[in-house]
Each structure stands twice: as C-alpha cells, then as structure tokens.
Amino acid sequence: MGHSPGRAWKRVRKLTPWLYFAILTIFMTWPLVQHAGDHVFGNLGDSFYFLWLVRWWEGAIQRLPASPLAVPGLNYPEGWNLAYNEIPLTQVVQALPASALFGTTAGYNFSVWMSFFLSGMGTYLFVRRLTRSSPAALLAGTIFAFAPYRYGHLMGHFNLIGTQWIPFYFLALHEALEKFAQKKPFGRWLAGSAVFLGFIGLTSQYYLYMALVLTAAFVAGFLVWGTGPEARKRASFYLQIAGAGALLAAVAFICALPYLSLSSQAPIPPHSAAEMAFWSPSIAEFFIPSPFHFLLRGWVSRHFDRLLWVENNLYLGLLPLALAVLAFAARKRIPEDRKKIAFFAFLFLCAFILALGTRLKIVPGPTNPAAAASLTVKGVPLPGSLLVRILPFYDRMRVFSRYGIFVILFLAVLAGYGARRVLSRVGSNKAAAALAAILALFIVFEFKQARLPLIKVEGRPVDHWLAEHHEPGAVIQFPAAEMVKPEQVFYATIHKKPFVGAFFAAFPSPQWSRVFPVLKRFPNRASVALFKELKVRYVLVDSTLYPDFGRVQAEIGRLGLSFFTRAGNIFVYTPR
C-alpha cells in the first residue's frame, strides 16, 4: 500500500529543522569544510591544547585501568592532572567518532559543527514547545546557534563553544516544574534536566556554575509567573522542588569533583577586583556588532576598542531585540502566554545583569588592568559584587561576560514569541513562510562573520627532529613562559617525549609554582641545576624571543650546555 502525499509531506516537514541547521552550520563556518582535515579556526593557542586533549582521550581506553585524568608526560616528572584546566568531555566525545575515521583535526572540527547544529536544534525544540510555532522556533534557534558570542569562542575555546546543552537543560527544567505544578508525572523531565546539567558540567565549569545561579532565578521566577495559587499552597510542590534541587546539586558536585579535589591540594587563587573589572563587559558591548562582521568589521574597529572582543563579543542583534521587545510590549494581548513572556523577560534581565560582572561599565574599556582598577572605586556596584562575597568559588571566575550565552538564550525565547505574533498576523501559510524566511535571512545578515582566521595544524621542524632522536629524557622550552603556552602541549604529541611544561589555564601545579621563579631567569646556574632533577635532556631555546640572543648564546655556553642542533628559530642544547 502506498503512502499518501500528505503523510510524506509531514515526514519532510519533520526533517526541515535538521536540514536547516545542518546547512546553515556549514555556510556560517565557511570555508572550514574545505580544510577540515588539517586546519582549525584561530591562531596558535587554546585550540592546539584541545587538539591534544582529543588525542589524549583517543588513547584513554588503551591506558585503562590508569586514570585518564593523570598525564605523566606533562609537567614532567611530577605529572599533570587534566583538572588543572577545564575538561570538555562532551566536546571530546562528540569528536571521537570522526577523529577515528578522519583524524584528530577533523574530529575536533566535527565537534565544533555539532555545537552549532545542536545549539540550534535545542533552542528550536525549546521554543517550539513554548510557542507551538515551528517557524518562530527556527528563528529562535538561528539567534542562539549563530550569535556572535559563539564566533568569539570559536577562535580556540573548545569548551566554551559547547553551548548546545544549555537550551536542552532549561527545556527539561521548565517542563519538570510545570509537571510539579500540575500534579502530573515528571520523572523523565526531571531526569532529563539532571542529565543535561551533567552534560553542561562535563563541558565547562563556568557554564555549570552560571547555570546553577540562573536555576535559582528560574525557580524563583517560575513561582511568580509559572504557577497558580493552588500549587503555591501545596506543600508537596515545594518538596518536589527541593528534591529536584538536591538532585541537581548532586550532579553538579559530581561534575566538579575533579576540580574540587585539586583545589583542596593547591587552592585556586581568587581573582582581584581590578582583574574582574578589566574583563567585565560594558552595556554597549551588547549592542556593538562583531569586529569580524562581514560588512561592518572596518567601521567597528575604527570606532570601538575591541581588544577583548573574543570574550566580549556580545552583540544581540537588532532584529532579535526588536522581536523580543514586541513580545513583551504585546504580552497583555496574548493572555495564554502573558505570564511566560514576563517570566523569560525576568530571566533575560537577570542574566544580563550578571553578565556585566561586579561593577557597571557603560562603554568598552579601559583595556589595561591599571585603568580598570579605577572602576572598582568609580563603577556602580552590581549584584555580582555581592555574589563574589557570599558564594563559594564565585571569585574564582574571571570572565562574567560568559553569562552572555544565557542572555542570548532567553532573548531567543522572547524573540520566538515576538516572531510568532508577527507571523500570525500574515494571512496565509505561504506568506507566513516567506516572511519567516526573510526574517531568518536578516538574522543571518546581522550575524554573518567575515572569514575568521584558519591555522594549519602542524608541528615545528624541531618537533620532527626530536621525534627522530630516541635518547630518553625530557624536553624543556625557553623562555620559560613558553612552557605554559597551549601549542607546546600539542607539539609533545609530535616529538613524543616528556615535557616539563603544561597548559596551566586555571591554576599551576605545585612543581611549576616551585620551579618557574627559577627557570624564568634562564640562562643562569640555578635554572641549569634544576635540569637534573627535572630529567631534562633537550633544552629548546627560541632565538626570536630574546632581544640579544648573542649574549644569551654565550651565557648558555659558559653554563656548560652542549649545542645539539638548530631547527628553524629553535636552538637545541643538552646538559653535559
């Protein structure tokens, strides 16, 4: 029996959002697809560390029962723990299938694409459930998945590009709360919220902490706008909320456990008020287009200081803002959704205020820590300054602008309501579809970036030279500050030798805290004396990073180091 045309059309319609976000992901990240096997977005830096991390987890099964968190070949000979930096395990797991088939770099890029695709799909499912409008939900998904915020972090922040679990989490949490209020079965939604919070925690500790703070706002807002008086009088309703809170807290604790264990051994130092002020965004940065916008990049660079654009690339978009304002302004004419619009407007405002950090800034800057310190006196204090004092580890977060992704999500929800109202005013379905397409094109126009820089994933000549030499011993890189640069960790996968340094993004290891003050004065006798303890055989010195390398070369000779070879700008020595 053949299928009716109507049933076939329904199947095609179900595939539409999947195809839409898949095709748009390729277009909005072009030309990455042409270079996916050997290039990544960005410059030398964080992306190379995360490439190393994908390779490390590729071999994790082979190393069992050894802990995958312990890396004996970095921070040698003490060893290194992955929890010294964020461990975006969900991003890595997304990368592994493609990595096994096409190589590490292709796997990394596949995971990046999946973050765009799933961010769009998660927001689409969330907003469609709220608005009951697929076109409006597609527009909301476009706003969240392709916001300039994500392009800033595309430059190497593999963990922070992993925003895809956030809309799924709030979708499940919203549905669980509604089921509590309606006395309906809630198990699968509560379980879903716990799972997706776990995925957030296994992607970024920043996002985990911020999601927990906004969960408190979410529950408080739901009690005001999401429930009726009957539910608020019921003790069981509050017991269910308390039980959900305990479950989510347990999930968050499990996700944070590797970091908490390390912090008990070597406490993470809090960030100063001046440092937090330096990194905090201004209100204006939510309204300034990206400095990589394909049309406006020159104008933005000429008129605004965008030194911190990677973190503070927070442009919300004129059309998304207009649709959100329309939804809020017209909420009284939409009785069935009036309270929900107010609820998400409240969440948008909470996330927006928290994203501004601890002190209010109106315009970008200042862009040096000394000038930023003045803001701790002159700036208007914000709720974040209170949270720094009362919440544990809140002062260990440096970049509060990362709340911006939550601002964008709640804006996308409001814009979905606004889009539904606009589209409902159009007479026919065809006209509504055409208008939705025009609105989507305008959002793409607002968010489309020029070609972001791509860098080829490859080692240095010295790494290939080291790979051919099998004498045991560790590699050390000078100047000493180079040893904590992310690309150095990746280079170790090429030369396959123990490396004294590592990528200490969150806090340094005990060994590094002890030896770095000595090594940073190299070449001197104290630093050379450490080589035996650190089991160093290969001393790499980058000649381009010393203003008077001739003098440095002479001093290295006087200290008894033997010249091995020169590979490009790297001179290789060995202790006698």
Residue 512's pLDDT band (cuts 50, 70, 90): very high
Residue type, 494: I
Closest CA to 500 of 482, 521, 526: 482
Closest CA to 417 of 327, 345, 317: 327
Residue 511's pLDDT band (cuts 50, 70, 90): very high
Can you tell me the mean pLDDT for 147-155? 95
Can you tell me the mean pLDDT for 141-152? 97
Give the model's pLDDT for residue 223: 95
Give the model's pLDDT for residue 489: 95
Q: Which residues share a beta bridge with 268?
A: none
Evaluate whether 330 touches 421 at the Cβ level (below 8 Å).
Answer: yes
Give the model's pLDDT for residue 145: 98
Residue 2 has pLDDT above 70, yes or no: no
Q: Which residues share a beta bridge with 478?
A: 541
Evaluate whether 178 touches 140 at the Cβ level (below 8 Å).
Answer: no
Residue type, 140: A
Evaluate whether 499 touches 76 at the Cβ level (below 8 Å).
Answer: yes
Give the model's pLDDT for residue 60: 84
Give the model's pLDDT for residue 62: 80
Residue 379 has pLDDT above 70, yes or no: no
> How many CB atoms are located within 10 Å of the residue 16 CB?
12
**pLDDT tens-digit series, residues 316-369:** 999 999 999 999 999 888 878 999 999 999 999 999 999 999 988 888 865 555
Query: Can you give the residue ranges of every domain in the chain?
Result: 164-266, 269-425, 461-575
Rg from Cα positions in the chain: 26
Residue 113's pLDDT band (cuts 50, 70, 90): very high
Q: Which residues contact 386 (CB under 8 A, 6 or more apart)?
A: none
Report which listed range, 393-397, 415-419, 500-504, 572-576, is most confident: 415-419
Evaluate whether 290 touches 298 at the Cβ level (below 8 Å).
Answer: no
| Percentage of the chain exceeding pLDDT 90 | 74
Give the model's pLDDT for residue 376: 44
Give the model's pLDDT for residue 365: 63
Write down the mean pLDDT value for the chain.
91
**pLDDT tens-digit series, residues 8-51:** 656 667 789 999 999 999 999 999 999 999 999 998 889 999 99
Residue 377 has pLDDT above 90, yes or no: no
Residue 133 has pLDDT above 90, yes or no: yes
CA distance 508 to 510: 7
**Assigned token pair, 355:** 């994203």
Residue 505 has pLDDT above 90, yes or no: no
Helix ranges restricted to H, 67-133: 89-102, 104-131
**pLDDT tens-digit series, residues 227-261:** 888 888 999 999 999 999 999 999 999 999 998 88
Residue 371's pLDDT band (cuts 50, 70, 90): low
CA distance 200 to 208: 6
Give the model's pLDDT for residue 99: 96
Residue 278 has pLDDT above 90, yes or no: no
**pLDDT tens-digit series, residues 434-447:** 999 999 999 999 99
Higher pLDDT, 370 or 23: 23
**pLDDT tens-digit series, residues 180-229:** 999 999 999 999 999 999 999 999 999 999 999 999 999 999 999 988 88
CA distance 89 to 533: 33
Give CA angle at 377 (375, 380), nearest 5°: 70
Give the model's pLDDT for residue 467: 94
Higher pLDDT, 212 or 62: 212
Give the model's pLDDT for residue 413: 98
Is the bond preceding 77 in cis, omega lying within 30 degrees of 0? yes
